[in-house]
Each structure stands twice: as structure tokens, then as C-alpha cells.
Amino acid sequence: MVRARRAERFSLVSTLIAVALFPTAACQAREASSALPDDVRTTAASLHKEALAGTRAFDIVRSLTLEVGPRPAGSRAYDAAVEWGLRTLKELGFSNVHAEKATVPHWVRGAESGEILAPYRQPVHLAALGGSIGTPEEGIEAPVIEVPSLDEVDKLDPAEVQGKIVFYDVKMERQKDGSGYGRAVPVRGAGASRAAKLGAVAVLIRSIGTDNNRTPHTGGLRYQEGVRQIPAAALSNPDADLLAAEIASGKPVTFRLKLGARALPEVETASVVGEIPGREKPEEIVLLGAHLDSWDLGTGAIDDGAGVAIMIEAARRIGLLPRRPRRTIRVVLYANEEFGTSGAKAYVEAHKDELGRHVMAGESDFGSGRVWRIASRVDPAKLPVVADLAKLLGVEQGKNDSGGGADIGALAPAHVPVIALSQDGTTYFDYHHTSNDTLDKIDPKDLDQNVAAWAAVAYAIAEMPGDLGRAPEVSGGRE
Amino acid sequence: MVRARRAERFSLVSTLIAVALFPTAACQAREASSALPDDVRTTAASLHKEALAGTRAFDIVRSLTLEVGPRPAGSRAYDAAVEWGLRTLKELGFSNVHAEKATVPHWVRGAESGEILAPYRQPVHLAALGGSIGTPEEGIEAPVIEVPSLDEVDKLDPAEVQGKIVFYDVKMERQKDGSGYGRAVPVRGAGASRAAKLGAVAVLIRSIGTDNNRTPHTGGLRYQEGVRQIPAAALSNPDADLLAAEIASGKPVTFRLKLGARALPEVETASVVGEIPGREKPEEIVLLGAHLDSWDLGTGAIDDGAGVAIMIEAARRIGLLPRRPRRTIRVVLYANEEFGTSGAKAYVEAHKDELGRHVMAGESDFGSGRVWRIASRVDPAKLPVVADLAKLLGVEQGKNDSGGGADIGALAPAHVPVIALSQDGTTYFDYHHTSNDTLDKIDPKDLDQNVAAWAAVAYAIAEMPGDLGRAPEVSGGRE
């Protein structure tokens, strides 16, 4: 510890006394140096307050989940979602509403079932992982070997694994920030190929989810190049408990897996874009993103109907202001987040010449839980703007290393500044990627709070005299 | 209002003062006149306390749900449950362990699916009601008409209903005492025939359940004699929301229902019985009942694996006492509660000559929620015994008009006294009759609390010098 010299100590004490006695003056002095001008802050605060009183966001997500419902990449329902997006943005007064080409995988689930055959016969609830190959029609019947983690599988003798179904029994932890997901999900992406290398014939995983409902969680897997592809499915948590208990009995366990999953040819479809044009610098863009596709099991209310509704409604409310902000607010409803973000990649390719004029990107893809933190990746000199926004929203300020989200992650090489609003994800992973992702899981007031926050942030960045600079290199951090 | 005369008022005041000043003495005076003797109360309290410290009940329900799993009436799995029951009671030291013949229906679900075809195509999650007939293989495709209650359907013009699928949209309320079930469930039992009378081709109901999971709630229906039988299924609550929203759009709604359900010939199977024989009056019976069958969708953990475990473990602990009680504790694991209580009826028929010597019956069939009340149907002169038990268990005392439960209800014509322990049912109907009825829904400490209560009650009644008299006529009340 270094002791402060007397003069410094005196100065520190004076400052503390000044802040204690004249807090407003002290804050104003700080803010005046670098943060939002008063008129910008006032309008942003007013957008925020008015949205908290009630918005159309719930109506928007209700319309999408009811009239379109499940809309996986490549499906005809996804095309209906594109029509819905174009129609909705036009009806809500957006300008320059259009579709932007995206080529997406087309994977279909087909019929699927699973059964523990021995020692105690029990049918189970499972869902093929997205992108999994199917089994032969008669299914795969094989002994089961349990491993407690992805790394443990590598330690096994191939002779132990050969011809077996590998069951990864990794439990996801419930956390407000959803960080349990990051720790549990690698097994879903990589588990199949890691087991296939050792001769496994199929993979089962415990659902990456925090609930105890008999609703399995799907999600994408990635087959490793050059490794034999084997079928993979997630058991619901109660079914994973059952399989683990059968294994714990010490008797040999046999399982029959039938997956009708298969990949069809790629499909050319589209992301949907609409704008609130800026009044002075329309060529400078504040991008608000969410993804229009969903998994096939639920109606995609929290993933990502909520984000679609939040971003549309936040932008719409900015468009209703008597004086629109200087810069353009662009809402991008991305095609295909779930199967490799090809919509986001297509956007980057199509807009590469204007990415330098994207002054901010934000993404809403974490359900409808309330915003509790603002994180960023902006020029560090501009962090006082983020601090000012945190104060305005009444939330914590997070780190400056945010990726922002899966879709806007593609903008990182162009150093597009990121604002990320962290949502309360305590219950998000109870429903995420399951049939249970339905409208009833959304509280309209929570949606309103998200709309309020994004409207204030997007307006402030679109209106402020300066900008957020350019984002530093991604350090691998997460918001 | 009648005013008390002065002497009566004086007497009342004196009593209040006496109770206030000398509560122990006053209670002793009251108890001495009619309630349990000290030694009985002491042993009952000790059974209670020791069970709270931990029991084998969770191991028992784990064994049943894991080794047998779903065990609907008439299935081969139910026969395995009978074997499990006989083996388990023997292993746990019961006497006179045997199977008692019961003839049961054998209904099988088969494959089932449903889809809203118009105005917005959406697949839904549904489950045939138990006993429903199936649809033709190609399904039934028909317009949908919504009715808000069972009674409303009778008011409809048959011309409005003819050829349609009737959708009963009745919401069940969450209540600690489960009373929302009684109000909502008639639609499940009677809805099909009431709609068929008006020319409906099928019936859909909103699940009788308090959750918002995509796990539909099955349960028995009763076709009315002489009315055309039509297929009937329950939609999960989120799916009922979806169908209601499609109807609320004002556009015509069409639905396709496919049910593979069918009735097979009746099966001769068995209830399972075991005893802790009484030391002085073995011919007098304290009956502890639960049902061994379950629905086909879940593993029957809360319905009624929990009850089976609670009653077996309560009796087992009484059997371990250094001195067994005067009377016999008889555990009856009934066949077929879910399809019309034919196991209970067979028991009454087989034991008709000894029903007069059944000094008490109790049933545990409400999951694993904690006991919070003791209700009864005993000779009103014996209510101080119930009051004494309430005090011993630390629970409220309910009314004296309890039916006791579905299976022991069959004992009512023989005036068998009933003790009913009301359990906290706040979450019971989230899982009841769904695939989600699995072991993880049970907290072992809750089971122990139930075991503690039943062990104390059964012991006290089996040991007390007198008995509970004979039960008054059933007045239609519920505990």
C-alpha cells in the first residue's frame, strides 16, 4: 500500500467535503466535461418515463407469436415471419422498410422418441439438437455411458466408449446474469464430435436449462470437420435425472433413440430492416437488432419475439418525437440467429461500406427480464456518456468489454461501438429453446421497462453532438 | 341476537378468567374428560418427532417411480407395481402381505396430436382425457366453438354446435386447499357428453391445472349413458391461451384432432395389502390407504407415489415400536383409483364382514405438500380426540364432514370413521396428471412431515382405549 502525501490527502479531503456539501455542483462539473448535454438528457428521460407507463411491445410480440408462431430458419413459417416483419414495420410508420437477402440452413426435426430399455423401462422426453443427423428409422439401441463433463470424455479409453451412447450429465446453474449458460453450453455444441472421436454411436445431454419441467431444451450443435457425425439429443432435466438414477443402480443401462432429424438444402430468405431516418446525419446509423427466427418447439416469445418487440417499439417511440434525432435509428430483424447467424453475416457483407458510419449497435436477445445493467464497448474516453446513461436508466454500469450479442458480434471487426443492456435472466433458461417458450412467460410491464431503456439509449446516442468513438478490439469478454 | 342472562354471563367471565390465569389446569381438565391418555399421547408425540428427523419415505417413492414408473390401470407396468408393492412390504417387515383381486379398465392412449389449422396454423400440445374414444385415423377436422363454462354449453342452440369441436375454456384457480380443482373439474368429467348432446364432434378443454407449462393435464371423463361418445382432450394452458387468442381474432377457427386412444378388455389385477398386527385387538383395523396406479404420462411421483410412500413408512415406523399398538394397522395400496376406484370397491366387497371393525380410515392422495389441518368424520362425541391430535401435530382442526379421499370414500356406507390430513396443495395442480409428475417435484422433508403426522394419528387411534365411534352420514362436505 502506498501512503498518500499530505498535499494529496488534503486535496482528497477537500473534494470529499465539497461533494458532501455541494453534490449537485460537483456532479454538474463532472458531467459538463464529457457526458450528454441537458437537452438530450431531458428528452431521453422523457422517452424513458413515458415508456414505463405502457407501450405496444406486448401487442407486437403477441401478434408475432400468434400469427406466425414457431419460425425456424429455412421454414415456410420463417417466410411468413418476414412478411409479418415488413407489414408490421410499415404499419408502425417506419421508413425504408425492406428485406435483405440471407441464405440459411434448413434443418427439420421430424418425429423423435427415446426410451430407457434396461434396467427399468421408461419412456423419456427428448429433443434432437439443432443440426443433428437422424438415426436409422428403427433407431439406435445401445448401452449408455455417463460422463460428468465435456473434458472427462477425452479421458476415457475408446474401448469403453466404442458402440455406446454417451450421456453428458452437466447441470446448468441459475444466475441472474445467465452466466450458468456459458459454462454449461459447450457440451451441446461440441459434445457429439468429442464422443464420436472415441467411437460413440450417439450422444444424449442433460438439457441446458434451469427448470425441472419435462420440456427438453434444444439448441445448435457443431459437428467438427473430419469427424464422423453422430445423432445428438437433449433429455429434459427430469428425464436426465431418471437416466442418471438408472445408471446409479449399477445395472447395465440400454437406451433406444429415434431421431427423424435431417438437413434439407439451404434456403434463400431475408432479414427485415426498417428505419427512423435522422434529421441531420441520416447516413450515421444507430443499429437496434433482434432476431426474427426462433426454434421450432415453442412460439419464440422470449427467444426472440421479446427482443423484436422491444427494439421495434423503442425505435417507433423515437420516431414519434416532435423532432427526430440527428442520426438514423435502424431496426434490423435478423434472419437465422439460431443456426450460425448467417443473417448477421449477410448484413455485414451487404453494408460493409457503411459500417464505419454505424455509431452504435445494440441487441435484445435475452427474453423480457428487466434491464439492470448497462455495459459497453466504446472508446474509453466516451465512458462518461455510458455513466450518464446508467444514471438516467437507474441501472448499474458494467464493463467496457461487451460483445453485445450473437448478431451484432459480427460488427466487431468494424469497431462498431456497442451498448449492451443486461437483463435479469433468472428464469430465462427455464423456457429457452423449449416448447414452453410461449407468450404467457412475458410480463408486459417488463417489456415496457426494456423499451424505456432502449428508447432512451438509442435516442441519446442518435442525438448527442459527438459520438462513442470506435470500439476497441474485442478481448473475449462478455457483458 | 339473544342476550345472555346475568348468571350465564358471570359464569362465562369466570371461565375466561380461569383459563387466562390457569391455562394448563383448564386444558388438563378438558382433556382428562375425553381425549387421549398421557401414555398414548407421549408415544404418538415421540413417533411424530422422530419421523421429522428423517424417514425412508423418499427412498420408497424413488424406488417406485424409478423401477416401475408410469403404471396405469390394466397395464403390464401396473402388474409390475403390484410385484413391487408385495416385495417392498415384505422387505419392510409387514405381516400378512398379499394381493387382493380387483378388475380394472384398460385404456390406452396411443399416438395423439392436435393442430390449429386456421386462421393461424399452430401445432398444440394436448392429451386425451382418460377413457376417451379415439378419432378416425385421419383425425377430426372441424370448426371450433368456445364456451366459458359447462353450464353455458347447455344454453347454446344445437345449430351452433352441430359438427363442431367444443372448446371449454375454464381456468382453475390456485388455492392452498386445492379447492379450485373441485370447481374446475366437472368440465373434464361431463363436458364431452354435454357437448355431444348438441351435436359436437369432439371436445377440447383447457387443462385442469394451475401451471403455465406445455404439459397437458389428463384425467378421467365419464360418458353419459345413452349419449353418443365423442373424443375429448385437454390442451396445456399455454395452448389453451393460443386457441383462445385465435378465436378472439374473430376469424373462423379450424382444428385437427388425432387421438389414438382406445379401450381394451378389462384386466384382472390386484390391490396390495400389508399389516402391522395389533397386540390386543388384531381384528380391529386402522386402515391407511393410497393408490398404486398412476396416469400414463408421468412417473406418478406425487400422484400417488408420495401417498404410497407416506402410508407405508408411517405404518412401518409404528411396527418398529417396542410395543405394537392394540389394534392392527392395515396399509392398502389400491388398484385403479384413476379409472373409477374399482380397487376400492373390490376391497369393500371382499371385507364387508369386517367393515364394522374398521375403527378408522385415512388416505394420502394429494402429493407431498405439508399437512396443515386435520379434518374428520367421527362420532361428534369423539371430537376432543381429534382436537388433541391437532394439538399434537401442531395443525388446525377442520370440520367433521370429511369424505377422506376417493378410495376410502367407498367405506362411508359402513360408517367407518375418517381422519383426513389436509396437505398444502399450492403447487400440486401444477403437475397433477401430467408428464411432469416426476420425483424431482418432491421435497423429502415434506414427505417426512406427512409420515410424522400419519404415524402419530394411526398409532394413537390404534392404541387408545376407546375408539372414534361410528361416522355420521356423509353430508356431501369435503375436508
Q: Is residue A110 less than 8 Å (CB to CB) from chain B? A: no
What is the rounded average pLDDT for all residues in chain B? 93
Chain A nearest C-alpha distance from B216 (Å): 11
Contact between A241 and B440 using a beta-carbon 8 Å cutoff: yes
Helix (H, G, I), strand (E, B) or coil at B40: helix
Predicted-complex ipTM score: 0.91
B residues 129-148 lying closer than 8 A (beta carbon) to A: none
Segment B235-244 mean pLDDT? 98
Question: In which residue are the cell numbers 417396542 written?
Answer: B322
DSSP E strand stretches across B139-280 = 140-147, 165-168, 202-206, 232-235, 254-259, 262-276
Chain B nearest C-alpha distance from A389 (Å): 36
- Quote the CA–CA distance of B133 and A376 in Å, as a whole number: 59
Chain B nearest C-alpha distance from A173 (Å): 16
pLDDT tens-digit readout, B129-174: 999 999 999 999 999 999 999 999 999 999 999 999 999 999 999 9
Q: Whose CA is closest to B100, among B278, B287, B280?
A: B287
In contact, B83 and B319? CB cutoff 8 Å: no
Give the residue ranges of DSSP H helices in A320-471.
342-350, 383-393, 428-431, 444-463
Q: What is the pLDDT of residue A35?
A: 87
- Quote the CA–CA distance of B252 and B164 in Å, as a whole number: 12
Q: Helix, strand, coil proportions of chain A in percent (round to 5)? A: 40, 25, 35
Contact between B69 and A120 using a beta-carbon 8 Å cutoff: yes
Contact between B120 and A436 using a beta-carbon 8 Å cutoff: no
Residue B27 has pLDDT above 70, yes or no: no
Segment A202-207 mean pLDDT? 98
Residue A455 has pLDDT above 50, yes or no: yes
Segment B407-428 mean pLDDT? 97
Question: In which residue are the cell numbers 438528457 written?
Answer: A41
Please pick, among A313, A337, A338, A363, the residue that the annotation labels catalytic: A337
Collect all residues of chain A within an 8 Å Cβ-Cβ radius of residue B66: 120, 242, 245-246, 249
Lowest-pLDDT choice from A29-33, A73-77, B332-336, B391-395: A29-33
pLDDT level of residue A197 (50, 70, 90 thresholds): very high
Q: What is the pLDDT of residue A478?
A: 41
Out of B121, B238, B441, closest to residue A438 by CB: B238
Q: What is the pLDDT of residue A474?
A: 73
**A249, A427, A438, A443, best to mutate vs chain B, most B CBs in 10 Å:** A438
Collect all residues of chain B within an 8 Å Cβ-Cβ radius of residue A242: 66, 299, 438-439
With a pLDDT cut of 90, the percent of chain B lying above it is 91
Residue B335 has pLDDT above 50, yes or no: yes
- Quote the CA–CA distance of A479 and B210 in Å, as a whole number: 36
How many Cβ atoms from other residues are within 10 Å of residue A50's Cβ? 16
Cα–Cα distance list, B391 to A138, B27, B35, B257, B385 (Å)? 61, 11, 11, 53, 10
Please pick, among B31, B112, B146, B337, the residue that the annotation labels catalytic: B337
Q: Is residue A207 less than 8 Å (CB to CB) from chain B? A: no
Contact between B242 and A213 using a beta-carbon 8 Å cutoff: no
Q: What is the pLDDT of residue B6?
A: 41
Residue A23 has pLDDT above 60, yes or no: no
DSSP, residue by residue, A405-433: -TTGGGGGGGT--EEEEEE--TTHHHHTT
Q: What is the pLDDT of residue B440?
A: 98
DSSP single-letter state for residue B440: G
Q: What angle do CA B337, B341, B343 make, to 5 degrees?
A: 90
Residue B25 has pLDDT above 60, yes or no: no
Collect all residues of chain B within an 8 Å Cβ-Cβ radius of residue A214: 215, 298, 434-436, 438
Q: What is the pLDDT of residue A34?
A: 52
Contact between B440 and A238 using a beta-carbon 8 Å cutoff: yes
**B62, B108, B113, B122, best to mutate vs chain A, most A CBs in 10 Å:** B122
Give the relative orientation of helices B306-319 and B57-67 as an angle to the nearest 10 degrees: 140
pLDDT tens-digit readout, B297-321: 999 999 999 999 999 999 999 999 9
Q: Supply A260's cell numbers.
A: 427423424
Out of B69, B123, B249, closest to residue A122 by CB: B69
As beta bridge partners, residue B108 has B262
**B75, B207, B214, best to mutate vs chain A, most A CBs in 10 Å:** B214
Residue B255 CA from chain centroid, whole number: 33
- Quote the CA–CA distance of B214 and B212 in Å, as a whole number: 7
- Quote the CA–CA distance of A184 and A219 in Å, as a whole number: 12
Out of A214, A242, A441, closest to residue B66 by CB: A242
Q: Is residue B11 less than 8 Å (CB to CB) from chain A? A: no
In contact, B142 and B165? CB cutoff 8 Å: yes
Helix (H, G, I), strand (E, B) or coil at A126: strand
pLDDT tens-digit readout, A336-392: 999 999 999 999 999 999 999 999 999 999 999 999 999 999 999 999 999 999 999
With a pLDDT cut of 70, the percent of chain A lying above it is 92
Contact between B441 and A212 using a beta-carbon 8 Å cutoff: yes
Q: Supply B376's cell numbers.
A: 374428520
- Quote the CA–CA distance of A72 and A91 in Å, as a whole number: 24
Collect all residues of chain B within an 8 Å Cβ-Cβ radius of residue A67: 120
As beta bridge partners, residue B327 has B281
Collect all residues of chain A within an 8 Å Cβ-Cβ radius of residue B214: 215, 298, 434-436, 438
Q: Is residue B407 less than 8 Å (CB to CB) from chain A? A: no
Residue A15 has pLDDT above 80, yes or no: no
Question: In which residue are the cell numbers 395452448 written?
Answer: B239
B337 carries an active-site annotation:
yes
Collect all residues of chain B within an 8 Å Cβ-Cβ radius of residue A245: 62, 66
Q: What is the pLDDT of residue B248?
A: 98
Residue B478 has pLDDT above 70, yes or no: no
pLDDT level of residue A475 (50, 70, 90 thresholds): low
Largest CA distance in chain A: 83
**B63, B246, B438, best to mutate vs chain A, most A CBs in 10 Å:** B438
Q: Supply B124's cell numbers.
A: 398444440
Contact between A120 and B67 using a beta-carbon 8 Å cutoff: yes
Sheet holding A327-334, edge to edge: A95-108, A262-276, A327-334, A281-291, A358-363, A418-423, A371-377, A396-397
Contact between A238 and B213 using a beta-carbon 8 Å cutoff: no
Residue B328 has pLDDT above 90, yes or no: yes
pLDDT level of residue B289 (50, 70, 90 thresholds): very high
Q: SS in 3 state form for B170-198?
A: CCCCCCCCCHHHHHHCHHHHHHHHHHHCC
* B-chain residue closest to A441, CA distance: B212
Segment A234-258 mean pLDDT? 98
Out of A237, A238, A435, closest to residue B214 by CB: A435
pLDDT level of residue B475 (50, 70, 90 thresholds): low
- Quote the CA–CA distance of A76 and A73 in Å, as a whole number: 9
Contact between B215 and A215 using a beta-carbon 8 Å cutoff: yes
- Quote the CA–CA distance of A305 and A301 in Å, as a whole number: 5
Chain A nearest C-alpha distance from B340 (Å): 25
Helix (H, G, I), strand (E, B) or coil at B264: strand
**B435, B439, B442, best to mutate vs chain A, most A CBs in 10 Å:** B435
Q: Is residue A218 less than 8 Å (CB to CB) from chain B? A: no
Residue B298 CA from chain centroid, whole number: 16
- Quote the CA–CA distance of B261 and B15 in Å, as a whole number: 66
DSSP E strand stretches across B83-139 = 95-108, 112-118, 122-124, 126-128
Q: How far apart are the first and last CA of chain B?
A: 30
Length of chain A: 479
pLDDT level of residue A31 (50, 70, 90 thresholds): very low
Out of B67, B70, B214, closest to residue A436 by CB: B214
In contact, A339 and A130? CB cutoff 8 Å: yes
Helix (H, G, I), strand (E, B) or coil at A218: coil
- Quote the CA–CA distance of A311 and A363 in Å, as a whole number: 8
Q: Is residue A125 less than 8 Å (CB to CB) from chain B? A: yes
Q: What is the pLDDT of residue A368?
A: 97
Q: What is the pLDDT of residue B88?
A: 98
Chain B nearest C-alpha distance from A20 (Å): 51
With a pLDDT cut of 70, the percent of chain B lying above it is 92
Question: In which residue are the cell numbers 423515437 written?
Answer: A318
Q: What is the pLDDT of residue B374?
A: 98
DSSP, residue by residue, B384-443: HHHHHHHHHHT-EE--S-----TTGGGGGGGT--EEEEEE--TTHHHHTTSTT--GGG--
Q: Is residue B207 less than 8 Å (CB to CB) from chain A? A: no
Contact between B214 and A298 using a beta-carbon 8 Å cutoff: yes
Q: What is the pLDDT of residue A432?
A: 98
Q: Is residue B369 less than 8 Å (CB to CB) from chain A? A: no
Position B57, amino acid: A
For A166, the enclosing helix (H) or strand (E) is strand A165-168
Q: Whose CA is closest to A433, among A190, A225, A256, A172?
A: A172
As beta bridge partners, residue A140 has A257
Segment B417-434 mean pLDDT? 98
Q: Whose CA is closest to B452, among B88, B46, B64, B176?
A: B46
Segment B220-242 mean pLDDT? 98
Cα–Cα distance list, A455 to A334, B42, B417 (Å)? 19, 68, 67
